[in-house]
Amino acid sequence: MPLRYRIYSLVREGNLGKQALFNGVVFGFGAGVLIAADLLWGSLETRWGLNVFMGFVAGFAALVIFNAVVEILGASYGSWKASHNRAAS
């Protein structure tokens, strides 16, 4: 199995809880990076203002980009899997 299909099947195949876990980790990482940067280098006067909202936006953007990349990696996974299942039987 090619690496791109292996990554796609790891993220997409299985139960919905595993997909939600992957998406939650990506969202948390995207938001956490921005919020951690605000905590480390942001001024005390502006802390926890719009930076938390921006962290949410960055996490959502990371989630959208991650899911788009995973879907591109598995673009022809269904046909590849069907052809290999036919060949195996």
Q: What is the pLDDT of residue 34?
A: 86
pLDDT of 22 over the 80 cut: yes
11: which residues sit within 8 A by CB, 6+ positions away?
Answer: 19, 22, 70
Interatomic CA distance for residues 58 and 1, integer angstroms: 33
Contact 34, 58 (CB under 8 A): yes
Contact 27, 63 (CB under 8 A): yes
**In 3-state terms, what secondary structure has residue 76?**
coil
Residue in this structure with the two tokens 């991650």, named with its chain if needed: 66
Residue in this structure with the two tokens 């052809």, named with its chain if needed: 83
Q: What is the pLDDT of residue 79?
A: 80
pLDDT by residue (tens digit) across 30-78?
A: 999 888 888 888 777 766 777 778 888 999 999 999 989 988 888 887 7
